[in-house]
Amino acid sequence: MKGKKLTPEQHHVLKECGTETPFSGKYWNHHEQGSYRCAGCGALLFSSKDKFDSGTGWPSFTRSPGAVQEKEDRSSGMRRVEVRCARCQGHLGHVFPDGPAPGGQRYCINSAALDFRKGAKKK
């Protein structure tokens, strides 16, 4: 995926730590089986098996297979945990401790940061 041209929205989210408007992204209400990859570099980030409807308007996942990095984010006057792509360092969204059992995590991710591939996850 090296050299892929990002849309203006993808660039804003991935490179400028932007956030899309809730309920506006193409994957918030998406239910196909497959894998979600970084729109910037193609790294595998999430599986549809871990996706759930959080009611927030953003795609939400209970876990990641390990292709993300988490770091403290004190922007916007809040204390949150930012989620970035471990390969290209693109901003994906945030993770919150209010997800479903058993892990209790809610990875709240911008659709603009994701590309979907139908079917079983492949590396």
Per the CB < 8 A criterion, the answer to whether 38 and 64 are in contact is no
Residue 51, both tokens: 């996706």
Find the DSSP H helices in 47-109: none
Q: Which residue has the tokens 């139908």?
A: 118
Told to judge if 17 belongs to the known catalytic residues of this protein, a careful annotator would answer no
Q: Pick the catalytic residue: 38, 41, 85, 108?
A: 108
CA pair distance 57, 111, nearest whole angstrom: 10
**Hey, which residues are catalytic here?**
108
